[in-house]
Structure 1
Amino acid sequence: MRRLLMNDLVSWKSSPSRKPLLIRGARQTGKTWLMEAFAKQEFRDYVKIDFMYDESAQSLFEQDLDPQRIIRQMQLRYGRTIDPEQTLIIFDEIQEAPRGLTSLKYFCEQARQYHIVAAGSYMGMSIRREGESFPVGKVDQLTLYPLCFSEYLRALAGDPLADALENAQMDDLAALSDTLERHLKEYFITGGMPEIVSAHQQGASFTETRRLQQQILDSYDADFSKHAPGRILERMRLVWKSLPGQLARENKKFMYGAVRPGARARDFEESLQWLSDYGAIAKVPRVSALRLPLASYKDLSAFKLFCTDVGLLGALADLDPAAVLDGSRLFTEFKGALTEQYVAQELRRKRYQPAYWSSDTGAAETDFCIAFDGKPIPIEVKAGENLRSKSLRVVCDKFGLDKALRTSLSPYRNDGRLTNVPLWAIGQFEKLLGREQHPHL
C-alpha cells in the first residue's frame, strides 16, 4: 500500500535545512513499514535499530552522546559502513531508548549530514525521565495517522480511481458515486489501521476484521498498563470505553457524568491527557465565535472526543459489521457517530486542528470549524438524507461568513455560500473550495 506521507519524507531528504526526523503516531499505524519502504525507495542502504527488540542496543548511548562515536560503534556492531548520503539510519521504538531520543539534538548540531529517521509511540515519548530531555527545536516532526480514505481506496480499488479522487475529478467521479459509497461503508468497518486494511485486501471477512481490531485494542490496553501511572489507569480505561456512548449523544459533547456518575473534570483531566499523548483520542474543543484565530475563542470546559480510527471506534462499540450491507444505515448508526468520526479523521490527517461552534443557548451548532484560506469555515456533517439545517445559515449570518461547507451523501454542488461535498470526497475539500475561489487555477 502507498502512504501519502512518503511525499513528505522525500521532501525532507532533499531539504537543505534537514534535521533528524521524528515520526510520531499511535501504535500500529505503520511507522516501521513506512520507514523501511522509504529506505528502500530512496537510499542505497539502511541500518535499522529496533530498541524494543534489541534492548542491548541502548548501550550505544551509555558513554556519551557524541554522534561520531555513536556512528563508529554502530558500524562495528552491525558490520555496515554508514555513508552520510547513501545510508538511512532508522531508530525504531525510540521511546525505549530515551538517551537515543536526546542524542538527536547532537546529531542536529554536530552531524547533520547523516540521514536519521526515528519513530516511536506518542505515550512513550511523552514521558519525561530525569536527566533526559526531548530535543525541542532540533528535530523535524511528522505524524502518521491510519490510512485515510483515499489511501484505503488505492489499496482496495487501484490507482486510477484513487488518482481521480485525490485530484478531485468530480465530473468523472459523479457516475461512480455508488462504487465510492460502497468502499466508504467498508472503510467505516475496517478503518485505516494497516494490518486491518492488508487483511481486507487479502479477503478477510468482516468478522475476522473485528477479531484483529480487538487485538489492537488489547495491545493499546497493554500499553496503557505499561506506561500510565497506576492511579489513573482505571480512569483511562473508563474514558476510552465511554467513547462510543459519548459520540452517540445528540450533540456529542463529552460529559464526565457519562463516564462515571457524579464525575468532575478534575477527576479525569490527567487521564484525558495521557490518552491524548498516546494518540488514542483527539480532543475537538468548542469555540465561542467563528473568528480567527480560532484558538483565541476556545471554551476549555466543552469539547468532543474522537477515536484515532473509525474502525477501532466501531470495534469499541461492538457494532455489528453486517450493518455495512444494510443500505445507508451505517452512516446514521448511533446518531451518525461513525460519520462524524470519519470527518474528524480526514481533517486531522490534513493537519487541521478542528473545533466546533455552538450558540450559548445550544439552539444552533456546527459539527466542525477550521481556518482555511485565511477565513473560518463552518462544516456540517449530514449522515442522513435530510439536508435541511438552519445552523449553517445562522452561523454565517452571525459572523459574516461568505463560505460554509456541508458533507453528505448528496452529490457535489456549489450553491455560492454553501458547498456540498460528498462524504467520500471530504479529504479533497481544499481542492474543491480552491477551484471555486480561484477558478483560473
Structure 2
Amino acid sequence: MERKVVERLVSWKNKPQRMPLVIYGARQVGKTYTALTFGKNHYKNTVYFNMEGSSEIASIFERDLNPERIIKELSVKSGQTIFKDDTLIIFDEIQACERALTSLKYFCENEPDYHIIAAGSLLSVALNREKYSFPVGKVDMMNLYPLDFEEFLWATGHKDMCELIKESYEHFTPLSLHETAMDLYKTYLVVGGMPRAVIEYVDTQDFNFVVAAQKMLNDAYIADMAKYASPQETTKIMAAWASVPAQLAKENHKFQYKVIKSGARAYEYETPLDWLRTAGMINKCIRITEGKMPLSAYADNSSFKVYMMDTGLLCSKFDIAANVIMNGPANFNGFKGALAENYIMQALVTNGFTPYYWSSPGKAELDFVFQDRQGNIIPLEGKSADNVRAKSLKNYISLYQPPYAIRVSAKNFGFENGLRSIPLYALSCLKRI
C-alpha cells in the first residue's frame, strides 16, 4: 500500500543532521507497515523490535543507556548485525518502554549514524498519563494519518485518474471524467482511509466486509480507552467519542456538551476531548472572530467543532449503508453536508493545514479558514452538492478581501473573480507541506 509519507522518510534518511524519527498517529493507520516497507525498500536490512510484547527487549535498556552496548545486545537478540547507515532499526509501540524512548536522546547525541524509527500508538496519551520525559529537540517527528483520497485511488488501481485530476487542478480546467471521479469520492466516504478497511474493499469489493473491519477498529479504540485511562475517565471518553456523530448531525455543528448527556459541563469533558484529540481520533476546529494574521490570536477556544479522523469510521458509527452514500436519496441530504465537511477537515489536516472556522456576530458562518503556503489567510466554503450559493463566503470576502477564496463542492473545476472552484475529489491537491 503506497503512502505519500515515504517521500518524507527518504528525505529524513538523507539528512546530514538526521535524528531518530518518531512516527505517531492513531492506532492502525499504518505506522508499522509503512516503517517496515520503507526499511525493506531503502536499506540493506531492517531489525524490528516490539517494545510492548517483550520484557526481555525492555530489559536491554534498563542497565544503562549506552548506545554502543544497546546496539550489541539488540544485534544478538535479532540475530542480525546492525550496521550504521545500512540498517534501519524500528522500535514499535515505544510508549510501552520509557527507557527506550529516553535512549533516543543518547543515540542522537552520541551515535547519530544509526538510523532509528520509533512508532507509537497513543504515544502522546501514554506520555501524559505516565509523565514520561520526552527527548525534546533530539528526535524528528512525523504524524501519520489515514490514507487520503489520492492514496485511496493508488490502492484501488486508479493512478491514472490521479494524474488527470492533478492536470485539471494545475490549470483549473474542467475534468472530463468528473462524474467518474465523484463516484470514486463517494466510495472513499464509505470505505475511508484506514488501511484495514481499504484492504478489505480491494480484496472483496464488498462493503459488508469493510463495515466489519471498521467496527473492529472502533472496538479496538474503546479497548485502548480502558487501557490508558482510569475507569472514571474511560466512561467520559467513551461518552464523548459516541457523541461525535450526533454533534455533526445537528444543523449547527458547533460542539455542545449537552449532546453528550443532559446537564454536561465543559469542565467535565474538556479532558476526555483532549484525550481523543491527542490519540488522533478526532480533529478539532476552533472558531476565530477575525480573519486576520495570526489566526491563533483571534481564536475563541470555547467555541469549536469536532470531526472524526476518518469518514469511513463516521459512516460505520452512524450505520449508514453504502448505497445511501452512493445514490444520495433526498432524505439524506441533511447529513450529506456534514459528511462532506468531515472529509474536508480530514483532507486539510492531512495536508498540513490548521483549519479554523469563522462566524460573525450575525448569522454568517464560514466552514474553514486557514493559512496557505505563502502565508495568506484563505477562506474555504464546503458544499456536498453542486448548489454553490455561499452567502457567508461573500460576507467574509467583503470584510477581509483575501487574495483568493476556495469553494469545494460537487461542481467541476473553475476559476472566476478570485474564486477557485475545486471538486471534492481534488482536495488532496491542496497542500501546505
TM class by smaller structure: over 0.9
- After superposition, the Cα gap between the structure-2 partners of 1:170 and 1:55, relative to the gap in structure 1 and judged at 3 Å, is farther
**Which residue number in structure 2 is paired with residue 232 of structure 1?**
233
Alignment of 1:36-115 (within 5 A): 36-115=36-115
C-alpha displacement of 1:126: 4.0
C-alpha displacement of 1:414: 0.6
Q: Is 1:393 paired with 2:360? A: no
C-alpha displacement of 1:181: 0.7
Amino acid of the structure 2 residue aligned with 1:238: A
Alignment of 1:364-375 (within 5 A): 364-372=364-372, 373-375=374-376
**Which residue number in structure 1 is paired with residue 22 of structure 2?**
22
- After superposition, the Cα gap between the structure-2 partners of 1:256 and 1:135, relative to the gap in structure 1 and judged at 3 Å, is same
C-alpha displacement of 1:55: 3.5
CA distance in 2, matches of 1:65, 1:26: 28
**Which residue number in structure 2 is paired with residue 376 of structure 1?**
377
C-alpha displacement of 1:157: 3.0
Alignment of 1:222-371 (within 5 A): 222-327=223-328, 332=333, 334-361=335-362, 363-371=363-371
CA distance in 2, matches of 1:370, 1:289: 12
- After superposition, the Cα gap between the structure-2 partners of 1:169 and 1:389, relative to the gap in structure 1 and judged at 3 Å, is closer
The 3-state SS of whatever aligns with 1:300 is strand
CA distance in 2, matches of 1:329, 1:97: 52
CA distance in 1, matches of 2:166, 2:332: 22
- After superposition, the Cα gap between the structure-2 partners of 1:398 and 1:84, relative to the gap in structure 1 and judged at 3 Å, is same
Alpha carbons 2:19, 2:139 under 8 Å: kept = yes
C-alpha displacement of 1:158: 3.1
Amino acid of the structure 2 residue aligned with 1:44: K
Alpha carbons 1:123, 1:279 under 8 Å: kept = no
Alignment of 1:46-195 (within 5 A): 46-123=46-123, 126-128=126-128, 132-166=132-166, 168=169, 174-195=175-196
CA distance in 2, matches of 1:156, 1:128: 38
CA distance in 2, matches of 1:185, 1:308: 17
CA distance in 2, matches of 1:49, 1:330: 51
The 3-state SS of whatever aligns with 2:305 is strand
Identical-residue share of aligned pairs (%) = 39
Q: Which moved more, 1:102-111 or 1:123-132?
A: 123-132
Amino acid of the structure 2 residue aligned with 1:149: F
Alpha carbons 1:282, 1:308 under 8 Å: kept = yes
**Which residue number in structure 2 is paired with residue 13 of structure 1?**
13
CA distance in 1, matches of 2:332, 2:369: 21
Alpha carbons 1:228, 1:274 under 8 Å: kept = no
C-alpha displacement of 1:80: 1.2
- After superposition, the Cα gap between the structure-2 partners of 1:173 and 1:202, relative to the gap in structure 1 and judged at 3 Å, is farther
Q: Which moved more, 1:326-335 or 1:225-234?
A: 326-335
Amino acid of the structure 1 residue aligned with 2:275: W
The total of aligned residue pairs comes to 430
Q: Deviations over 1:358-405 (max 9, x none)?
A: 0123x1011011001221101100113321121111111112323111
C-alpha displacement of 1:231: 1.9
The 3-state SS of whatever aligns with 2:403 is coil
Q: Deviations over 1:128-170 (max 9, x none)?
A: 4768411111100111100000000111133222233345366
**Which residue number in structure 1 is paired with residue 410 of structure 2?**
409
Q: Deviations over 1:211-263 (max 9, x none)?
A: 11000000000000000122221111111111111011122100011111111
The 3-state SS of whatever aligns with 1:53 is coil
Alpha carbons 2:286, 2:356 under 8 Å: kept = yes
- After superposition, the Cα gap between the structure-2 partners of 1:205 and 1:410, relative to the gap in structure 1 and judged at 3 Å, is same
C-alpha displacement of 1:110: 0.8
Q: TM-score, normalised by structure 1?
A: 0.93
The 3-state SS of whatever aligns with 2:250 is coil
Alpha carbons 2:146, 2:310 under 8 Å: kept = yes
**Which residue number in structure 2 is paired with residue 439 of structure 1?**
none
Q: Which runs of 5+ in 2 are unaligned?
A: none
The 3-state SS of whatever aligns with 1:127 is helix
The 3-state SS of whatever aligns with 1:351 is coil
The 3-state SS of whatever aligns with 1:247 is helix
Q: Deviations over 1:97-134 (max 9, x none)?
A: 12111111111111111000010013565434768411
CA distance in 1, matches of 2:322, 2:131: 49
The 3-state SS of whatever aligns with 2:388 is coil
Q: TM-score, normalised by structure 2?
A: 0.95
RMSD: 1.9
The 3-state SS of whatever aligns with 1:352 is coil
C-alpha displacement of 1:172: 8.0
Q: Deviations over 1:261-290 (max 9, x none)?
A: 111110101111111111111111001111
**Which residue number in structure 2 is paired with residue 196 of structure 1?**
197
CA distance in 1, matches of 2:181, 2:386: 17
Q: Deviations over 1:184-215 (max 9, x none)?
A: 11100000001111111112411121111000
Q: Which runs of 5+ in 1 are unaligned?
A: 432-441
CA distance in 2, matches of 1:369, 1:184: 23
